[in-house]
Structure 1
Amino acid sequence: MKQPHAISKARKRLFIGLISGSCLVVCLFLMALWLVPFIGLDAIHPYAKWALGGVVLLGIGFVCVGYWGLFLNIITKKQILGSKRFRGLTIKLFLPLMVLLGRLIGFEKQHIMLSFISVNNELVLAEAGRYAPKDILLLMPHCLQNSRCDKRLTYDINNCDRCGKCPIAGLLELHDTYGVNLAVATGGTVARRIVVQLRPKLIIAVACYRDLSSGIQDTYPLPVYGVLNERPHGPCLDTTVALDQVEEMLHRFIDPNTAKSGKTISTGQAAQS
């Protein structure tokens, strides 16, 4: 079995390879915008082709600066000038191209999304500072609840008996210990509503790779650190999460000099203390 560090490096290599190819595709496309009508533009104005060429060169320069900034951010794991914009460029421009390019050359979408989540997490670690607990949201999927449990946690997560048969008890303990916001959502629409309601400055989200990648895109520019859930029984049934990894990120992002003031919130609730 591959070690987590080796898996992370492999995902990073895949991401860099695909984003390099995507950057090349964009630059070639921009060059084509100039080369194709090059001869015909003479009929419009003697300098028309050079004006268009200047615009194309500016576009290529923009893409290349974004690419190299992102590349250096990934390699150095440090915040550099324009880090937030590089993450936005990845999410809005490069990711759709990476998925298309990756599928064309035979990579599964799952591997591409996992590489994106891994690199996004490193960018968030480099970009984000420390926050008060009330500004951090632990956003959890409802499938973490034991399927044989009769408690309605999607209505109120505080209904949990903390029996320890699912990760919800451990997450409530993290909420109690660190005072961060804790929310359980049944889907993307509800998750977005919770984010709007609580207005956090940072999200630590647990989900499968599909929901994480779409959630990172939907909430940009809000930084989202993604933690993949574990699915021993298949998708959306009795999933689990490495609580130690969630706690490690809380240590990273919480400002220890601030008060504990987070809330718990579930589907259909108003935020409560």
Structure 2
Amino acid sequence: MKQTTSIRRARKRLFIGLISGTCFVFCLFLASLWIVPFIGLENIHPAASWILGGLVLALLSLVCVAYWGLFLNIITHKPVPGSRRFRGLTIKLFLPVMVLLGRALKIEKENIMLSFVSVNNELVQAEAGRYKPEDILLLMPHCLQNSKCDRRLTYDINNCNRCGKCPIAGLLDLHDKYGVNLAVATGGTIARRIVVQMRPRMIIAVACYRDLASGIQDTFPLPVFGVLNERPHGPCLDTTVAHPLLEEALHRFLQPKYLKGMTSGLGKTISTAQGTRL
């Protein structure tokens, strides 16, 4: 438990450190837009440099407000006004620069993506509400299916005969128990098509860190809670997933009336459970 907590804290520190550096880079860049042409702009109009300065100052303020809002959201685990916009800025603006900054600092991309997914989960938990079962989609990668199985599950999950040789049977049990949607995707294009067709309000996705990070970006502003798959045989081959993590997520995001009479018996909070994978 202590090791899990320390790993989670280390990844938070990495994320905060990178996003702090990213914010500094943005501020430095925006400030240069004001300083560099300052002298030349006066030749165009006496007030031109001040107008540009005002615009740059407004952008600087926006970046700083977004950074501190995101920082407080991460530290306090509570939503702050505009938290959804802060998550959007992280996904669309900060993350690409964080990857470039991490590369310059020789930080492995995997660690950056893992920290991003972990923090995204906490932001989603803070901002997301509770939903009806039909509004939640469990989106799974095809590599969970046994590689020797000849059943096609991408277009109809019910083609599974529940032999128990892969995690799909347990996922169908969760689907039956809670009434949520369940789908298997073979890649990003199919996953996006499934999301468009089903139109969920909340997605609980299982994938590797790379696919989770790209999926979170692709589906924004939809809230996506990510759970890492386990890869005992290497990437994209007979992977597994811890069903208790998914059930804990369902208990967090389902409306209470759909959980009456159900007990998970897991004895862990969702944040602790997700820390064992993220």
Matched, 1:186 2:183: no
**Amino acid in structure 2 at the alignment position of 1:152:** R
C-alpha distance in 2 between matches for 1:91 and 1:154? 28
* SS of residue matched to 1:107: coil
**Amino acid in structure 1 at the alignment position of 2:66:** G
**Amino acid in structure 2 at the alignment position of 1:176:** D
Identity in percent: 76
**Residues 101-140 of structure 1, C-alpha deviation per residue, up to 9 Å, x if partnerless?**
0000110111111110000000000000110000000000
Q: Counterpart of 1:90?
A: 90
* SS of residue matched to 2:54: helix
The alpha-carbon deviation at position 155 of structure 1 amounts to 4.0
- Normalising by structure 1, what TM-score? 0.92
**Partners of 2:11 and 2:115 within 8 A in 1:** yes
The alpha-carbon deviation at position 258 of structure 1 amounts to 4.7
For 1:106-255, what aligned pairs fall within 5 Å after superposition?
A: 106-255=106-255
- Normalising by structure 2, what TM-score? 0.91
* SS of residue matched to 1:39: helix
The alpha-carbon deviation at position 41 of structure 1 amounts to 1.3
C-alpha distance in 2 between matches for 1:85 and 1:108? 27
**Partners of 2:154 and 2:183 within 8 A in 1:** no
* SS of residue matched to 1:183: strand
C-alpha distance in 2 between matches for 1:161 and 1:195? 25
**Amino acid in structure 2 at the alignment position of 1:36:** V
The alpha-carbon deviation at position 5 of structure 1 amounts to 2.2
* SS of residue matched to 1:16: helix
Residues 13 and 176 (structure 1), Cα distance of their counterparts in 2 relative to 1, 3 Å cut: same
* SS of residue matched to 1:221: coil
**Partners of 2:141 and 2:186 within 8 A in 1:** yes
**Residues 234-266 of structure 1, C-alpha deviation per residue, up to 9 Å, x if partnerless?**
00000000110000000000013259xxxxxxx
* SS of residue matched to 1:3: helix
C-alpha distance in 2 between matches for 1:152 and 1:63? 47
**Amino acid in structure 2 at the alignment position of 1:207:** A
The alpha-carbon deviation at position 48 of structure 1 amounts to 1.5
* SS of residue matched to 1:117: helix
CA RMSD of aligned residues (A): 1.4
C-alpha distance in 1 between matches for 2:23 and 2:132? 38
C-alpha distance in 2 between matches for 1:41 and 1:161? 72
* SS of residue matched to 2:205: strand
C-alpha distance in 2 between matches for 1:128 and 1:161? 34
**Residues 187-241 of structure 1, C-alpha deviation per residue, up to 9 Å, x if partnerless?**
1101001001111000000000111000000000000000000001000000000
C-alpha distance in 1 between matches for 2:258 and 2:199? 18
**Amino acid in structure 1 at the alignment position of 2:28:** L
C-alpha distance in 2 between matches for 1:194 and 1:2? 39
C-alpha distance in 1 between matches for 2:10 and 2:258? 38
C-alpha distance in 1 between matches for 2:131 and 2:3? 31
Residues 239 and 2 (structure 1), Cα distance of their counterparts in 2 relative to 1, 3 Å cut: farther
The alpha-carbon deviation at position 2 of structure 1 amounts to 7.9
**Amino acid in structure 2 at the alignment position of 1:110:** E
| Shift >6 Å, 4+ stretches | none
C-alpha distance in 1 between matches for 2:55 and 2:103? 31
Q: Which runs of 5+ in 1 are unaligned?
A: 260-273
Q: Counterpart of 1:7?
A: 7
C-alpha distance in 2 between matches for 1:4 and 1:184? 29
C-alpha distance in 1 between matches for 2:53 and 2:71? 26
